[in-house]
Amino acid sequence: MNITDKLLNILSQQQVIFGDALKDNYYHIWKMDEPLNALAMVFPKTTEEISRILELCNNHKQAVIVFGGRTNLVGSTETMGNEILISMEKMNQIIELDQSSRTMTVEAGVLLETIQNKASENDFLFPLNFGAKGSAQIGGIISTNAGGLRVLKYGMTRNPDGTILSSLKKIIKDNSAYDLKQLFVGSEGTLGVVTKAVLKLRETPTSRNSAFIGINTFDNVVAFLKYIDKKLAGLLSGYELIWADTYAQMTNDETGSKPPLEPKYKYYVLVESLGSQQEKERNNLIDIIEQALEKKLVEDAVVAYTKSDLDWFWKLREDVHVIASSCTYDQHFDISLPIPTIGTVLDDININLRQLDGVNHSYTFGHIADGNIHIIVDKDSDDELLKNKINDIVYSPLQALGGSVSAEHGIGLHKKPYLHLCRTEAEIFLMKKLKRTLDPNNILNPNKVIDINE
Ligand SMILES: Cc1cc2nc3c(=O)[nH]c(=O)nc-3n(C[C@H](O)[C@H](O)[C@H](O)COP(=O)(O)OP(=O)(O)OC[C@H]3O[C@@H](n4cnc5c(N)ncnc54)[C@H](O)[C@@H]3O)c2cc1C
């Protein structure tokens, strides 16, 4: 009996597809036209079914990849053809929303957008937010420890032999020995399968204010962050930075938004405060910015007065596809650095990139309060050699400065060769030891993140 037949002892026929049926499926939301190459794909409905699938695969030393929403940006759901794929899409139930504990208990396949809507219907906020919210599942989000636009205020996401490990608890404080669930956060499906999660909900802020600020030196970008965070006394929820030429591209006449400020400063900062008194807080924000203008900390500013101003400012920042679609070929980066070093390091990176044959331009923006910078490189071709030269330019300054090759998106397949730049030999050794302990047959997403055989 081969393994697909054995899977049918655990699951119904509708829950297992293989052969031609796989052609209608895909390994990434941006590759829906490419046929899926794998042994089989299974659609479990319970934790127990997943446990039995993993037990079977472990006994057969059979590679498996967990499929969430398939929105990751690092190749972590790419297949080689010999894997069993575990789709989490049938585990899509919201189990409970507990008003008093302010928690939501969900199965791993629930979409981020569904969670946000459910929280909002119950007058709560689930603050995690990013562009792929309509496809990304909470299990995938936990497994990549995703961030997004309000990490500054609310933080990142931070829970195979078939053992079921349950740490599903609503309590906030728990110092009873090792916090095992944290091992699985950000592990990209290499240590286990997340089947359920208890999510912490927040009270919904009732006011939202924003301003666009023009600043001419990076030192003042850093000084203004400290200044405004202190003055807003806990309300600062966003501090997004856009470099001048990126701002010019985001606000160009053809595809971009209307520019809130003239395109003549070196940096543009978009600040956001969330609180409870709309008008009072807007006036306070105006006072704070006026004082910053007097001190020459910032050069210019415009404050949002209406909901449509707010939508306009944030659409400008979030419409990153305006840049990507202007590129002949695009290559994306998601690095992090100590905040004060960012100005000079990015100046050097951009100079080196733009001197490289085959590169047309480089665009820079980021969640600067988290030290997280995104770079989009516009290049002439998808040539492998050019890609590696670009990678080298962007990644080479990081090690000496204690930066990271992945602030948010993870390592997957694409960043594996660069992991050693931000993790020490001792750390990687321990990661391999951990992987061997939890997955001795190396069946879970085997060639992603780290290679235990090297
Ligand atoms: C337009 C766009 C914008 C984005 N913006 C951001 C952003 O601002 N910030 C940010 O941090 N990220 C961002 N991302 C990337 C984001 O991290 C991932 O898209 C998301 O977290 C992955 O969720 P998913 O369900 O699609 O997982 P998948 O892509 O399906 O899987 C990702 C990894 O997790 C594993 N996995 C999936 N489900 C499980 C599970 N239940 N148990 C164990 N392992 C599992 C997979 O095997 C894989 O290794 C963006 C992506 C897109 C396409």
Q: pLDDT tens digit string along 93-116?
A: 999 999 999 999 999 999 999 999
Ramachandran category for residue 186: left, alpha or beta (phi over 0 → left; psi -120 to 50 → alpha): left
Q: Which ranges of 67-173 would DSSP assign to H, the alpha helix?
A: 112-121, 138-144, 151-154
- Cα separation, 349 vs 355, in Å, equals 10
pTM: 0.93
Distance from Cα 140 to the centre of ligand 1, integer Å: 5
268 has which bridge partners? Answer: 214, 242
For the chain, the C-alpha Rg in angstroms (whole number) is 23
Instruction: Determine phi and psi for 241, rounding to 5 degrees.
Output: -110, 135
Reported as a single tens digit per residue, the pLDDT across 327-350 is 999 999 999 999 999 999 999 999
Check if the beta carbon of residue 210 is closer than 8 Å to that of residue 304: yes
What pLDDT score does 173 carry? 63
**Nearest residue to 208 (alpha-carbon basis) of 238, 245, 166, 171:** 238
Would you call 97 helix, strand, or coil by DSSP?
Answer: strand
Q: Which residue type, as a one-letter code, is found at position 249?
A: Q
Query: Cα–Cα distance between 130 and 157 in angstroms, integer?
Result: 12
Contact (CB, 8 A) for 239 and 271? yes
At residue 150, the pLDDT reads 79
Pocket probe mutation, ligand 1, options 76, 80, 106, 143, max atoms within 8 Å of Cβ: 143
- Ligand 1 atom with least separation from CA of 412: 49
Residues with Cβ within 8 Å of residue 359, at least 6 apart in sequence: 353, 377, 378, 379, 380, 386, 390
Centre of ligand 1 to C-alpha 14, Å, is 26
Residues of the chain with pLDDT under 50: 159
- Scan for tokens 């190396």, then name that residue: 442
- Please list, residue by residue across 107-117, b when 16 or more beta carbons sit within 10 angstroms of its beta carbon and e when fewer do: bbbbbbebbbe
Mutate to test the pocket of ligand 1, among 50, 71, 115, 319 (most ligand atoms within 8 A of CB): 71
Atom 23 of ligand 1: nearest residue by CA position: 140
Pocket of ligand 1 (CB under 6 A): 65-73, 76-77, 88, 108, 130-132, 136-137, 139-141, 143-144, 146-148, 188-189, 193-194, 408-409, 445
Would you state the pLDDT for residue 159?
A: 42
Dig out the tokens for 340 from the structure: 């004060």
CA pair distance 82, 225, nearest whole angstrom? 50
Structure tokens at 92: 């899509």
Cα–ligand 1 centroid distance for 315 (angstroms): 22
Q: Assess contact for 139 and 185: CB atoms under 8 A.
A: no
Ligand 1 centroid to residue 38 C-alpha, Å: 20
Which residues in 99-223 belong to E strands, given as ranges? 103-107, 124-125, 196-200, 202-203, 207-215
Of residues 325, 319, 327, 346, the one with CA closest to residue 335: 346
